[in-house]
Amino acid sequence: MIYFDSAATTFQRPPCVGEAMLHALAHCASPGRGAYAASLDAARLVWQCRKKLANLFHCPDPARVVFTSGATESLNLTLWGLLKPGDHVIATAIEHNSVLRPLYALQARGVQVELLPADSMGRVDWSILPAHIRPQTKVVVTAHASNVTGTVQDIRAIGACCREHGVSFVVDAAQTAGAQEIDLQRDGISVLCFPGHKGLLGPAGVGGLCVAPGVELPAVKTGGSGVQSFLHGMPEDLPERLEAGTVNTPGIAGLSAALDFLRETGMERLRQQADAVCRRFVASVTSIPGIVLYGDVHAEKRAPIVLLNLREMPAAALSDALAEQYDICTRAGAHCAPLMHEALGTDKQGAVRFSFSPWNTDAEIDQAVRALRALAGA
């Protein structure tokens, strides 16, 4: 099997991830819920992972790293926590439904939602942002990189604009956490939302958010916290305020091991490996008759994602043919980003997404290119 669907989830995880999860299942109890060894070991494991994530994202206080089930839950907690009826929020047409659907639900409750457009290449003109900020604007939210085209947004410039206007800046780092440098303080990020199972190389079912100092994010979920049990609401301190219930200790153990692997191997080295195979693929498929590429595939800084179609062939049929005839795994459809597909003109046909990882090889790229040539009749 050749796996080109890393934008959905990483598949070739380092062996240390599964080993750490198995160890946690065998030796860790509920963190912070007891004074016995298995509970204390779990609490230490969770805290160590918070520290590693704080270091990676330049968050000054590990207590402001909050664990969730993934980026979708993180974005929901953030948007529902920051916005109330009458507030104005700015997002874009490149967003994943993990941003769009919470915003639509909030819009139905009186939040004013404005979406900046994307052009036919899937790019957003951020120079217009200041003109769209109003007195009621409370949040600007965007994906750091499009999960459809790989286009990367200049979050440092956006963050500077938000800081100048006193607006909270929320970043969806689903496609960049663990692959692109992100600095919570330098980039002016108020809340960073991330999954553990993509660029961070951890397991599914764990992710989190980093809350910048000075940002107050109220509890949206309530429940057990392990401390201050007589309060009617959640404790005021982070991370307990936003972590109702028991965190996913085995998942956090796997993520912690993955973070060690990232640090030891070098995030930039892994990024360059994925980028190299992605560019090899682009250079090779452009000569295939009938192949249509979408987005700015030659941008200097981008996520390792390529979106394409073969003439008028339905995207699902092309993806199925690659899987059934060549054992090549891709993702067809709308990729949970409907407005982006409307901007690209692929909302009817759909498109096939190839997304690469550091473990993909030149030989795999060449095999995929041969498969596409054969399917194109070239």
- Pair (235, 322) in one structural domain: no
For residue 363, the domain's CATH number is: 3.90.1150.10
- Pair (289, 223) in one structural domain: no
Q: What pLDDT, on the 0 to 100 scale, is given for residue 289?
A: 97
Q: What is the spatial distance between Cα 201 and Cα 261, in angstroms, rounded to a whole number?
A: 9
With beta carbons less than 8 A apart as the criterion, state whether 303 and 6 touch: no
The last residue of one of the domains, among 249, 265, 281, is 265
For residue 299, is pLDDT > 90? yes
Q: If you average pLDDT over residues 114-135, what whole number do you get? A: 96
Q: What is the spatial distance between Cα 76 and Cα 87, in angstroms, rounded to a whole number?
A: 16
What letter represents residue 76's amino acid? N
- Pair (261, 271) in one structural domain: no
Residues across the chain: 378
- Pair (198, 220) in one structural domain: yes
Query: What's the number of domains the chain is made of?
Result: 2
DSSP 8-state code for residue 196: S
- Pair (354, 207) in one structural domain: no
- Pair (165, 284) in one structural domain: no
For residue 292, is pLDDT > 90? yes
Specify if 59 maps to a domain.
yes
- Pair (233, 367) in one structural domain: no
pLDDT confidence tier of residue 226, bands split at 50, 70 and 90: confident
What is the share, in percent, of the chain residues with pLDDT greater than 90? 95
* Helices and strands: H and E segment counts in the chain: 11, 13
- Pair (214, 308) in one structural domain: no
- Pair (252, 274) in one structural domain: no
Specify if 4 maps to a domain.
no
Taking CA atoms, 102 is separated from 73, 112, 122, 228, in Å, by: 10, 12, 22, 30
Closest to 86 (Cα-Cα) out of 115, 106, 100: 106
- Pair (203, 340) in one structural domain: no
Specify if 316 maps to a domain.
yes
E strands along the chain, which residues? Answer: 2-3, 65-68, 88-92, 112-116, 137-143, 168-172, 191-195, 207-211, 291-294, 305-310, 328-329, 331-333, 351-355
For residue 122, is pLDDT > 80? yes
Q: What is the spatial distance between Cα 185 and Cα 60, in angstroms, rounded to a whole number?
A: 8
Domain carrying residue 66: 15-265
pTM across the whole model: 0.96
- Pair (280, 246) in one structural domain: no
Specify if 5 maps to a domain.
no
- pLDDT tens-digit series, residues 304-341: 999 999 999 999 999 999 999 999 999 999 999 999 99
Specify if 10 maps to a domain.
no
